[in-house]
Amino acid sequence: MAVTAPRTIPLVDLSTFTKGDEAQRKAFVEQLGSAFHNIGFVGVTGHGIPKDLIDDFYVAAKQFFALPVEVKRKYEVAGAAGQRGYTSFGKEHAKQSQVADLKEFFQIGQELADKSDSAFEANPQVSEVPEFMKLGTQLYRAFEASGASLLRAIALYLGLEEGYFDQYINDGMSILRAIHYPPITQEPASAIRAEQHEDINLITLLVGASAGGLQLQNTAGEWQEIVPENDEIVINVGDMLQRHTNNYLKSTTHRVVNPPREQWHEPRLSIPFFLHPRPEMKLDVLPSTVTADRPQAYEPITAGEYLDERLREIGLKK
Ligand SMILES: O=C(O)CCC(=O)C(=O)O
Ligand SMILES: [Fe+2]
């Protein structure tokens, strides 16, 4: 009999919120909210992101990363701080680390009908793999819709109006990132696939990575493996939401460790969607989250200012 490891994060079904009755919706709000408050991570099924779309995008992403590096580097976008197009191996590092992560990635941003909005850089089109951007843009939309539903539940949990986040995330600055961790060919000096960090954005939605390695740090400081099942996506709170809620919702430290030596030849691909609001959203601490035991921990800042500060710290912006 197969031995199933105990789950490290709770599992919730988003369709009980998007399609359920009042009692089911209330139960979902409580489950999601307490997971974000206690752990900062949750597994979600019933998220409405089509499996075929994920699978097809994986195939296209693999084809992209298999291109020669000179070809991939054509898709580096000067001045976009890695927020669009390709970022080569060895560039990004966690904010406290001097050593770059063992990864390369490609980021897709918002495609607005109105191209005159200067907050948005254009996405480069990858001519060698035309499906890549087409599927990536579709997946972006699906993640956006699913993330909006999760934030509606979180707004209710925080005692806000259900549509509170919608005004900030419609036409927002979200990023779909395809990450390739190549096979490891020699003992890494000290770097791991992704050094421990917290995400910058409101929430992150991550679809099933092609190999294990993702770990979160629990409140006791121990590293715990996250092993998503089947069509489960992993959601975590980012620093913007933690800041806005005065640390009531937790942006939990996580990392991707290197596999054991016998699996070094296996690459790893993963697809996080970083849900960002529009740059003018104020991340000022919500008054309802300030209490006697939880005094105001942060000064007012906008999402745009905060993002800028963080991109400098991780080596993507000069
Ligand atoms: O590759 C993964 O599974 C997670 C990557 C991650 O945490 C990130 O890019 O922020
Ligand atoms: Fe992350």
Quote ipTM for the complex. Answer: 0.98
pLDDT score for 274: 98
State pLDDT tens for residues 91-108. Answer: 878 888 888 888 999 999
> pTM value?
0.95
Average pLDDT over the chain reads 92
Q: Where are the domains of the chain?
A: 11-313
- One DSSP character per residue, 146-164 reads HHHHHHHHHHHHTTS-TTT
Residues flanking ligand 1, CB < 6 Å: 179, 194, 199, 206, 209, 214, 254, 256, 270, 272
The tens digit of pLDDT for each residue in 40-93 reads 999 999 999 999 999 999 999 999 999 999 999 999 988 888 789 999 988 878
The pLDDT value recorded for residue 82 is 79
Q: 243 alpha carbon to ligand 1 midpoint, in Å? A: 20
Pick the CATH number of 11-313 from 3.90.330.10, 2.60.120.330, 2.60.120.380, 1.10.357.10: 2.60.120.330
Name the band, by pLDDT with cuts 50, 70 and 90, for residue 204: very high
Name residue 225's beta-bridge partners. 215
User: What mean pLDDT do residues 22-50 have?
Assistant: 97
Confidence of residue 301 (pLDDT cuts 50, 70, 90): very high
- E strand residue ranges, 199-318: 203-207, 214-217, 223-225, 233-237, 254-256, 268-275
Ligand 1 atom at shortest distance from the alpha carbon of 255:
7
Identity of the residue numbered 77: V
Is the pLDDT at 186 greater than 80? The verdict is yes
pLDDT category at 4 given cuts 50, 70, 90 is low
Phi-psi region of 235 (alpha: psi -120 to 50; beta: other; left: phi over 0): beta
Ligand closest to Cα of 256 equals 1
Protein residue with least CA distance to atom 9, ligand 1: 272
On whether the CB atoms of residues 202 and 260 are closer than 8 A, the answer is no
